[in-house]
Amino acid sequence: MKIIESIWVKDLEGQEVDLISRYKDRALLIIIYNNRCLGCTGRAIPLAYEYQQKLKDLQVLGIHSNFGKEITSKQDIYNIFTSGQPPFPIYIDENHKVYDAFQAEGTPQWLLITSNGQLYRSIFGSQEGAQNRLSYALEVLLQGGDQ
């Protein structure tokens, strides 16, 4: 498995953050998404929230990737949530650098990173097949099968 040295993004206040350093020693489920992606906002983000509620050993993070000349504000991020607040930390991937670095196939792209920083799985999609692959991968990851 590939060791991930860093994942640089911006927080919603515009500060640069390395997610690997910030969440050191935590298993991560990262969803790379876009606010304009209906599969992301309708299926994937609710699923990520569900995993966050059920799997306490897992840190769920969202990375909104900007494409083209898109600029996304903190309020744009907040507006997709019915509560008006993100249920887990959300970061901005300006110019889709993280999206490109992980060779995302589209949005949503799920990254599972072990507590020691290894990329365990990368899964594209939000429909049933992708959800099944993600669920199985999380089960194995959190049982220590590949940490």
Q: Which two tokens stand for residue 138?
A: 């999380």
Q: What is the dihedral of CA 119, 133, 97, 37, to 10 degrees?
A: -160
Q: Could you check whether the bond before residue 46 is cis, i.e. omega within 30 degrees of 0?
A: no
Residue from 140, 10, 124 nearest 72 by CA: 10
Inform me whether the pLDDT recorded for 143 exceeds 90.
Answer: no
Q: What superfamily does domain 2-142 belong to in CATH?
A: Glutaredoxin (3.40.30.10)
**Mean pLDDT over residues 72-96, rounded?**
94
The three-state secondary structure class of 105 is: coil
DSSP count for the chain of H helices, then E strands: 6, 8
Classify 85 in phi/psi space as left (phi over 0), alpha (psi -120 to 50) or beta.
beta
| pTM, two decimal places | 0.94
Residues 14-36 have pLDDT tens digits of 999 999 999 999 999 999 999 99
What pLDDT was estimated at residue 2? Answer: 86
Residues 86-133 have pLDDT tens digits of 999 999 999 999 999 999 999 999 999 999 999 999 999 999 999 999
